[in-house]
């Protein structure tokens, strides 16, 4: 059995995806890194321990033909696939980006939710994860030896949503369904599937929580965050397990995050 390990990481241009890429590279993995922004992917590659073992494929992860090409290019370069980390995500809609409209920090009660926003969130958080999972399954089932691992980027919102975040919460609940369904279908082929639910890792997306996050009772409360390097270390640990061992779901969050005990 080959000891050479290959991973595809989506959303690798920043945040959890970038930190995980750096950690996996340090652990000896070869990587295919994908996101929309090539310049930022180059920055991730340069930060990796072995940049020559990184393949950059920039594009739209919600586009079916692009996703097929992403996996084809990975196999062409590395010969196999051991891990898919579906790390890309569309942030909570209180931090949504609309074309030609810049950054919006306005919460969106469900009666004011634009269909464009709802669809964009679902496309990135769910449809892209499905497309990548489908292509990974094809490879995992056909390669020798069979098997592989998928890690899905979940969220505390898959269990306890934030106010005015219906699209994000719906998409993350759906990712839970994708995770469980994939785990069931992958069992007999040594395909292991994990959902990692992250709460308040201090990336650019979550940094605003330290200034005040909207609570169900209408208050804004400063919430603690934690270094995303700990998420990356967790990803490396799960990725290092044999395919016969599954961590179906794992929660990693700031100790003071308002999750357990309803706040």
Per the DSSP assignment, residues forming a β-bridge with 188 are none
Would you state the pLDDT for residue 218?
66
Would you state the pLDDT for residue 106?
52
C-alpha distances in angstroms, 48 versus 9, 42, 153? 13, 10, 21
Would you state the pLDDT for residue 261?
61
Instruction: Quote the longest CA-to-CA distance of the chain.
Output: 56
Q: How far apart are CA 133 and CA 150, in angstroms?
A: 7
Helix axes 15-26, 229-240, angle to 10 degrees: 50
Kindly report the average pLDDT of the chain as a whole number: 87
**Least confident span in 22-26, 80-84, 88-92, 241-245:** 88-92
Q: Is 141 helix (H, G, I), strand (E, B) or coil?
A: helix
Task: Name the pLDDT band for 204 (thresholds 50, 70, 90).
Answer: low
**Least confident span in 18-22, 33-37, 156-160:** 156-160
- The DSSP output letter for 55 is E
Q: How far apart are CA 32 and CA 230, in angstroms?
A: 21
Q: In this prediction, what percent of the chain has a pLDDT beyond 70?
A: 84
Summarize pLDDT for 121-173 with one digit per residue, the tens.
999 999 999 999 999 999 999 999 999 999 999 988 888 878 788 888 899 99
Answer yes or no: is pLDDT of 56 > 50.
yes
Tell me which of 178 and 163 has the higher pLDDT: 178
What is the pTM for the complete model shown? 0.89
Task: Assess contact for 130 and 178: CB atoms under 8 A.
Answer: yes
Neighbours of 111 (CB within 10 A): 6
Nearest CA among 67, 244, 76, 238 for reference residue 145: 244
Q: In this prediction, what percent of the chain has a pLDDT beyond 90?
A: 67
Would you state the pLDDT for residue 95?
44
Summarize pLDDT for 77-132 with one digit per residue, the tens.
999 999 999 998 776 544 443 333 332 345 688 998 899 999 999 999 999 999 99
Summarize pLDDT for 211-239 with one digit per residue, the tens.
666 666 666 776 778 899 999 999 999 99
């Amino acid at each position: 059995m080959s000891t050479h390990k290959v991973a595809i990481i989506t959303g690798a241009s920043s945040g959890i995806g970038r930190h995980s890429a750096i950690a996996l590279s340090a652990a000896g993995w070869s990587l295919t890194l994908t996101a929309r922004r090539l310049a930022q992917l180059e920055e991730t590659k340069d930060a990796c321990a072995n940049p020559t073992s990184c393949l950059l494929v920039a594009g739209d992860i919600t586009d079916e033909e692009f996703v097929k090409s992403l996996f084809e290019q990975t196999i062409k370069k590395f010969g196999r696939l051991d891990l898919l980390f579906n790390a890309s995500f569309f942030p909570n809609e209180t931090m949504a980006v609309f074309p030609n409209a810049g950054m919006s920090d306005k919460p969106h009660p469900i009666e004011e939710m634009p269909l464009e926003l709802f669809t964009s969130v679902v496309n990135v958080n769910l449809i892209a994860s499905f497309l990548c999972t489908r292509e990974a399954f094809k490879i995992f089932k056909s390669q020798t030896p069979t098997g592989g691992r998928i890690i899905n980027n979940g969220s505390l919102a898959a269990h306890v949503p934030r106010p005015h975040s219906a699209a994000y919460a719906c998409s993350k609940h759906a990712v839970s369904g994708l995770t469980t369904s994939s785990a069931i279908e992958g069992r007999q082929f040594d395909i292991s599937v994990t959902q990692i639910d992250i709460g308040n890792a201090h990336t650019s997306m979550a940094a605003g929580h330290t200034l005040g996050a909207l609570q169900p009772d209408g208050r804004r409360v400063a919430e603690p965050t934690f270094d995303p390097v700990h998420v990356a270390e967790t990803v490396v640990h799960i990725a290092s397990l044999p395919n016969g061992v599954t961590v179906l779901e794992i929660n990693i969050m700031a100790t003071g995050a308002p999750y357990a005990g309803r706040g």
